[in-house]
Each structure stands twice: as structure tokens, then as C-alpha cells.
Amino acid sequence: MSITEQYDFDVIVVGAGPVGLTIANTLGLHGVRALLVERGETLIDYPRGVGMDDECLRSIQGIGLVDAVLPHITPHHWMRFVTKRGYCFASIEPRTDEFGWSRRNAFNQPAVDRELLAGLARFASVSVQLGTEMEGFEQDARGVTVRLARAGQTTALRCRYLVGSDGGRSAVRTALGVEFGGITDKSKWLVIDIRNDPLGVPNIYMHCDPARPYVSVALPDSVRRFEFMIFEGETEEEITRPERIAELMRKVLPPDVDPLALDYIRKRVYTHNARIADRWKVGRVLLSGDAAHIMPVWQGQGYNTGMRDGTNLAWKLAYVVNGRADDRLLDTYQDERPPHAKAMIDLSVTAGRIFSPRNPLVASARDIAVRVLNLFPAARRYFLEMRYKPMPRYERGLVVPEPVARAASPVGRMFIQPQVRTRDGEIRLLDDVLGKGFAVLSWGVDPTRWLTPSSRAILAALDARRVTVKPITQLRRELDISDEALLIGDEQGRLKEWFGAHPAAVVVLRPDRFVAAICYPVQINETLAAVARAAGLRTDAVPAPAPAAGTRATAPALPELAGAAQ
């Protein structure tokens, strides 16, 4: 029986938030037959996440939608911590572009989500069903049967894998019986979003006033967000009354502005939670985004951590579904993502404690300590450049450690993304020339001459592009480059600098642009064999190309929703 006959879809994704949308777009790039379902009739149309980092923008670049998303962001969006008297005692202003983009960006989430949804129309293999709720599922050794409800009717669909990206109250996680341990902060916060920004001042201001800590955030499209701490004894019903809202707003507005005349988008009370699922993969069911973890907002990393999950998971699902690798590749998702998500949760909890102490003496001690640290350039750079932020580093999973362990080893870390020059003179970001699969990137040499037939089979199964980087001055030379390698120029000199810092000239880059392995050209065969073992690669079953456009996979339509609903 063929896959088409056995399964309605290869992957069903529950939840059309940013993580589910990113997963569906990645699956579409790889020609995977996927269904994205969302219980709402439309996407959520109010701001939630407000901060997007450079890793997240790189993920969006990877699914081919960064040009559509950029108009909805404000780059170089600094975070400034201000005392009760207005003194800025700390400012986070990272100006590096190591991964090709600004490290801190404000964004309009509803607009970005709409661009991610619209992007799915590119793929004949992907269907979207809005207004559809998952009622339950059963899995066995071969697949998952998912019950989906629409307009009071239920349809059962069969898939190979099910992904739950359905938020902090995930029905998929609940059905799995997975523990969601952690803490719930006693403090609550009132979030107020306003159209036609009455202040217009750029950046984020964390007002560390023990009497009432609050946050003021400038967002694109003239939207302003305020967040006010709610004290014990203040109920949600009381704090959201118009007169109390007006009282809070008068604290942050010029004296001649009437708070009741503002154009409010929403007013909502929420609690800071720090929780993480104890398992992210249970058989053929996987959790991603808020379904797997939730964290306080202080570093703006809930959205970004979820996007890292989706980027890590989706290409692995595609490689398994398309027959390039076995299920062991999906086990690396469990190995790699939870430790970093836990580190981001811990950072967010710590940042919240620093920002919002209720004791004036503690707040004064904090302000003095930060002023002293600002006197030391190294400490100042540590905060300005966000060096405190835990970067993902995968020590287990799809990584091949160097023979001699080094603290500065790049294996398991994200590779840089500088500008490069193609042979026709076009200047592009590195990822745009690497393609959607693996890449073997070499400095100054073409390792093709050392490849064995077995290594060539591995490269084919990895869908790997071979790319050689040379100085701009050598971009026209062909003497030592085979027809199988793509030659690019080191436009900014950063790639020479990177390779010069490590004892090797070849890196194997994963589709998510993490370094899987590093070696000398003469070690390419044993290195590729080690990558193949770590990935559970199937070199005996290199699949046919992805379906051509216009050959949409057929599957039972849910009631009143034949085909895709975009």
C-alpha cells in the first residue's frame, strides 16, 4: 500500500500560531503533505509577542518570507531600565548582526502571522483548516488517527506524525498526560494595547518604580503597549474598571491627555508562568512552542524560543517523512531543545526579579550595583550586547563532537550569516545561497576530490549543497574548483575570520544552520559518516524530488471545508 493510500496526511499540525505556521511552511518547502488546523475561525488579531530576535528573523528568512515580514518590524529596538526618577541605569543595545539581522526587533504579531499564513498558499502539499478543533487522537506503531471537529461533525484523519503547537493550554499535551511542571508567579500584570500611540517614543522602557512597576513599549503601526504590575488585593474586575484604567494611564501620559479618549485595542490581566513539559516527543506525537514551555515576558523570549523549536523540528520531520532518515532523527529534537528552553525560562525569571522588586531598599541596591558595573567596559558590553543571553548549544543530538574537546568548539552552535558575493556579482546573505538542505561549507578548498562513493550517497541523502568560499580577489578562479561546488566570495571578510579561529576548513551545516561537524578536507569521509549515523540517515533510500506545483495531495475534506482554507 502506498503512503498516499495509507495516510491522509504525513503530518497534522494543531495550532496556527507562529510556531505552527512556521512548521507548516517548512514542511511545504520540503514537499511534505501536511494539514494545519486551528480552532479559531481566524488568526488572533491582537498583539501578543512584541519582540523578535535575529535567530527568529533568520528562521523566517529560511522559509522564504522575510521580505514580506520586514515591513512589520522595527529593528534595533533597545530595552532601557529606568528608575523612579527617570534615570536610565541600564540599556540593552546590541548592535551586532552575527546572524544577518538586528538582534532586537519590535514587531506587529498579527501582521506577521498573516504573512506566515499567506505563505502557505505557495505549497500544493499543504492544507489549512480554520474553525476546526482537535477532539482527540490515538497513536500506534505506524501512525496517528486524529479526530477533528467542524460545525458539529467529526472526521477522523490518519497521519504519520502529529504536532501540538496549540498553546499553553495545549489539548495535545493534555491528551498525552505529559507533566507541565514549574512555577506560577504570585504577581499579576495588566496589559493595555493602544492604537494611535499617544507617546510615539521609540524603544522599550522598563520603569522600575517599586510603587508601581510598569513597562512602555513602542510597536510598529503606531501601537503602544503598557504593562502595569497588579498588587495583592487588587482584583481583575477592579483593576479593569474604566476609572482605574484612567488612573493608571494618567501616570504615564502627558497631563493634558484624557485617558478615556484613547483608542484601546485590549485590556487584559495575565500571570507570569515558568513551566516546561517533561517530554516533548511521545511516540509519534511532538510538542512545540507554548505547548512545550511558557515563560515570563521579561526578555521577550517566549515567542522566539517557540520559533526555535519549530525551526529545529520541522526539517527533521521532513527528512523522516521523505525517507531520508529514520525516527532517530526526531529523537534529537528531544535531546536538543528542552535544555535551551529551560535556560531561557531561568533567564526570564531572573530578569523579572531584577526589574520588579517591591522593596524600595532592594530597588535602590539594584540601581547602585548596576551603576557601579557600568563603570567597567567589559561589564557594560556584557549587558549592551546581550552576552548574558544563553545561545543554543547542542551537546547531544545531531552533532559530531571534535576529537579533542574545546570550550570554544563551534559544533552544536549556530553558524554566522555574513554577506557573500556570487560569481555574477550579486551580494546576498549566506543562507540564501546555501539552499534548504544541509550544506558542506569550505574555506579556500573544494573537498570533492576526497569523496568516496559512500560519501556521495550521504550527501545525496542529506540534500547537501557543496559551497566553497574564497576571498573576493579569487572569485573568478576555476583551477581548484569542481563543477559540483558552488563558489562564493567572502564579501565582508567574516568567513575567513571565522575559519581562522578554528582548526579546520570544512563545516557541515544542518538545515537550521547549526554546525553538525567540523573537519579538515582530508577528514571529510569519516566526518560525513559520523553525521549520517547521528542523523539516522538512510543512504539506501534517497527519495524522488518533491511533488511539482499543482499536484496537491488529496485527503478527506472536513465538513464545509473542501480543500485548503487560506
Whole-angstrom distance, CA of residue 528 vs CA of residue 523: 9
Enter the C-alpha cell of residue 64: 522564504
Cβ contacts of 300 within 8 Å, gap of 6 or more = 49, 50, 51, 52, 53, 104
Q: What is the residue whose three cell numbers read 569542481?
A: 482
The helix-helix angle for 524-535 and 453-462 (nearest 10°) equals 40
Give start and end residues of each alpha helix (H) in 435-552: 453-462, 494-500, 524-535
Q: How far apart are CA 298 and CA 116, in angstroms?
A: 25
Cell of residue 147, nine digits: 479526530
Would you call 480 exposed, middle or buried from its count of C-beta atoms within 10 A (0-12, 13-18, 19+)? middle
Task: State the DSSP code for 466.
Answer: E
Strand, helix or coil at 422?
Answer: coil
* Helical segments of 425-471, H only: 431-434, 453-462
Could you tell me the pTM of the whole model? 0.89
Quick one: cell of 374? Answer: 557600568
Q: In angstroms, what CA-CA distances link 234 with 206, 239, 329, 356?
A: 22, 6, 49, 17
For strands 465-470 and 486-489, give the pairing: parallel
Instruction: Write out the chain's pLDDT in tens, 566 residues.
Output: 344 448 999 999 999 999 999 999 999 999 999 999 999 999 988 778 899 999 999 999 999 999 999 999 999 999 888 887 788 877 888 888 999 999 999 999 999 999 999 999 999 999 999 999 999 999 999 999 999 999 889 999 999 999 999 999 999 999 999 999 887 776 788 999 999 999 999 999 988 888 888 999 999 999 999 999 888 888 888 898 999 999 999 989 999 899 999 999 998 888 778 899 999 999 999 999 999 999 876 656 779 999 999 999 999 999 999 999 999 999 999 999 999 888 888 776 666 555 555 556 555 655 556 666 666 566 555 554 445 556 778 999 999 999 887 878 999 999 999 999 999 999 999 999 999 999 999 999 999 999 999 999 999 999 999 999 999 999 988 778 888 899 999 999 999 999 999 989 999 999 999 999 999 999 999 999 999 999 999 877 544 444 433 333 444 444 443 334 33
For residue 145, which of 133, 160, 132 has the smallest C-alpha distance? 160
Interatomic CA distance for residues 408 and 326, integer angstroms: 31
Q: What angle do CA 54, 56, 62 make, to 5 degrees?
A: 105
How far, in Å, CA of 394 to CA of 339, rounded?
9
What pLDDT shows up at residue 1? 36
Map residue 216 onto helix, strand or coil: strand
| Distance spanning both ends of the chain, measured CA to CA | 31
Amino acid at 98: E
Please tell me the distance from the alpha carbon of residue 15 to that of residue 505, in angstroms, as a whole number: 42
Counting beta carbons within 10 angstroms of the beta carbon of residue 165, is it exposed (0 to 12), middle (13 to 18) or buried (19 or more)?
A: buried
Phi then psi for 84, rounded to 5 degrees? -55, -35
Comparing CA positions, the residue from 174, 134, 146, 135 lying closest to residue 38 is 134
Separation between Cα atoms, residue 29 and residue 208, nearest integer Å: 45
Comparing C-alpha atoms, which of 53, 102, 98 is closest to residue 497? 98
The pLDDT of residue 548: 38
Q: How far apart are CA 76 and CA 53, in angstroms?
A: 10
Find the length of the chain: 566
- Residue-wise burial string across 217-231, b where 16 or more C-beta atoms lie within 10 A, e elsewhere: bbbbeebbbbbbbbe
What structural domains does the chain harbor?
3-73+101-179+277-356 (3.50.50.60), 419-535 (3.40.30.10)
Q: Do 162 and 14 touch, CB atoms closer than 8 A?
A: yes
Residues 386, 304: Cα–Cα separation, whole Å: 15
Question: What is the per-residue DSSP string for 354-395?
Answer: HH--S-HHHHHHHHHHHHHHTTSHHHHHHHHTTTTS---B-S
According to DSSP, the β-strands at 51-53 and 104-107 are antiparallel
Name the strand (E) or helix (H) holding 428. Answer: strand 427-429
SS3 content of the chain, % helix, strand, coil (to 5): 35, 25, 40
List beta partners, residue 105.
Answer: 52, 75
Burial tier of 95 (Cβ tally within 10 Å: 0-12, 13-18, 19+): exposed
Taking each helix axis from N to C end, the angle separating 301-321 and 54-62, rounded to the nearest 10 degrees, works out to: 30
CB 501 within 8 A of CB 468: no
